[in-house]
Amino acid sequence: MAYEDEDNFGESDDRAAFADPGGRSALRAASAANPRALPCPTCKVPDRLTPADRARGYQCNECADRDEGVGP
């Protein structure tokens, strides 16, 4: 049985669903149905996450890179 997200915010599972297709970021692309209007739970900077990002428990790219030891 295929895994399905309960709240997919109108996105599909293809690369276009990501903010940076082909990049390191797991953040989802912003859209009218999925606006980038939420703060990062780690650094509290506003407008870093979409509802789809929050539903997955993500933090902003900068915090994720720092936590993963990825340099500038």
Domain ranges of the chain: 26-72
pLDDT at 7: 54
The predicted model scores a pTM of 0.75
Sorted by sequence, the CB contacts under 8 Å of residue 3 that are 6+ apart come out as: none
Task: Report how far residue 6's alpha carbon sits from residue 21's, in angstroms, rounded to the nearest whole number.
Answer: 22
Higher-pLDDT residue of 24 and 5 is: 24
pLDDT tens-digit series, residues 23-47: 889 999 999 999 999 999 999 999 9
